[in-house]
Amino acid sequence: MVCRKLTRIVLLCGLAAAVWAQEESSAQRLARLKSSLRLLSTRREPYIAPQPEQLAIIEKIARINDIAATQFVADIARDPFYAPIQDAVLRLLVKYARDSFATAAVLEEHMRPGDPNRNLARKVLLDQAIENRQDAWLLGLFEKGTLEDRFLALEGLGKIGSTHTLDLALRLLEDRSWKPQLDGPVNCGTIATSLRDQEGAKAARLLLLLQKDPRFAPQDVLAVREATRLWSIGDLRSYVDLMRLADKDPRLRAETARFLGEAGIDAAREPLIRLARNPKEAVAVRAEAARALGGLEIARGDLAQVLAGLLRGRERAVQLAAIDGLVALGVRQAAEALATEVDGDLDREARAALAKLSGLPENTDWKAWLADSKCRLPLGT
């Protein structure tokens, strides 16, 4: 029994000694390579081109399975003396690093716009944030980064299913300043795919609005399909609740009417018409319903007649909203309805609307223009 215990103790001591020897060996190797690198640097004049000998030594240091080695390579990446080979040193740090925090700290220093290593730093930090499923860095990139950074951050947030994804996707959709890239992440497809794990009414409403956005391209359709492929309900319109138009809160009724028009939900046609015509309804709600009718696609000629009737009402806000709706319809019947208001109480607004529809000056003889064969407005059904 005693012999077994002694044998076990000897084995444990031997294992500890082996581990100690290995750590000692790593430390000694690091010291030797650092000495070689210093010696090599003192033998040479300040250089312009990258030095293969230095990179070879730095790579050997980076390969050492030790945090101290990683920190040393990180210090080299910051050293101005090694600026000509900084790109290569950073890549070695990323490839062999044993300390992700040290690596991230160095890469953060290269996130400034214009930094030649910014793309490398951003890619690694993005991958690291997604792998660790932590959204703090991604949120910071969205708020403080470039336009491309914001889309890449949204893409990353979507991959980890962050609760912030939906709100940030809506912010990008509502931002009218950006234009889609032909080859890059800045497009409606990136917004769509970020909602893969966000199934629900809010995400569905956003996707419906996204598809009506003028920046939405044919290739983005595939992104919407991919985003909703695993949703339990595939038809986005199934998430639209028309009963919200009858909610007790007038603000919600107005917001719902606005959404239905912007998303072009043709099923809302009759409820919106009733809302716009209802004299007992709040004026703000009636105005939003009238404006929303202009976003529908079916029977636009008939909708133009409905909006023409609203022009003859008494509420100024409803009249102006009806004019917006007629412009959005863009059919010949809409122009005819507007032309009847020229020289009347809505003369200035009608002329501005007709100019927007046609691209002609406001002082055009609109009745003559409508009678002319040059008027190319489509006839609504």
This prediction has a pTM of 0.77
The string over 120-144, giving b where at least 16 C-beta atoms fall within 10 Å of a residue's C-beta and e elsewhere, is: bbbebbbebbbeeeebebbbebbee
Residue 41's contacts (CB-CB under 8 Å, 6 or more residues apart) are 54, 81
* Residue 143 tokens, joined: 């708020």
Q: Give the burial class of 340: count Cβ atoms within 10 A of its Cβ; 0-12 exposed, 13-18 middle, 19 or more buried.
A: middle
Strand runs labelled E in 231-377: none
Rounded CA-CA distance 127/141 in Å is: 13
Q: How distant is the alpha carbon of residue 304 from its chain centre?
A: 36
Domain boundary assignment for the chain: 26-132, 133-239, 243-371
Per-residue pLDDT of the chain (381 residues; tens, 9 = 90+): 545 555 555 555 555 545 444 555 788 888 888 788 887 776 555 544 457 888 888 888 888 888 888 888 888 888 888 888 888 888 888 888 777 788 888 888 999 888 899 999 999 999 999 998 989 999 999 999 999 999 999 999 999 999 999 999 999 999 999 999 988 999 999 999 999 999 999 999 999 999 999 999 999 999 999 999 999 987 899 999 999 999 999 999 999 999 999 999 999 999 999 999 999 999 999 999 999 999 999 999 999 999 999 999 999 999 999 999 999 999 999 999 999 999 999 999 999 999 999 999 999 999 999 988 778 889 888
Q: What is the DSSP letter of 246?
A: G
CB atoms within 10 A of CB 101: 11
Q: For residues 360 and 354, what is the distance between their CA atoms, to the nearest angstrom?
A: 8
- 213 close to 170: Cβ distance less than 8 angstroms: no
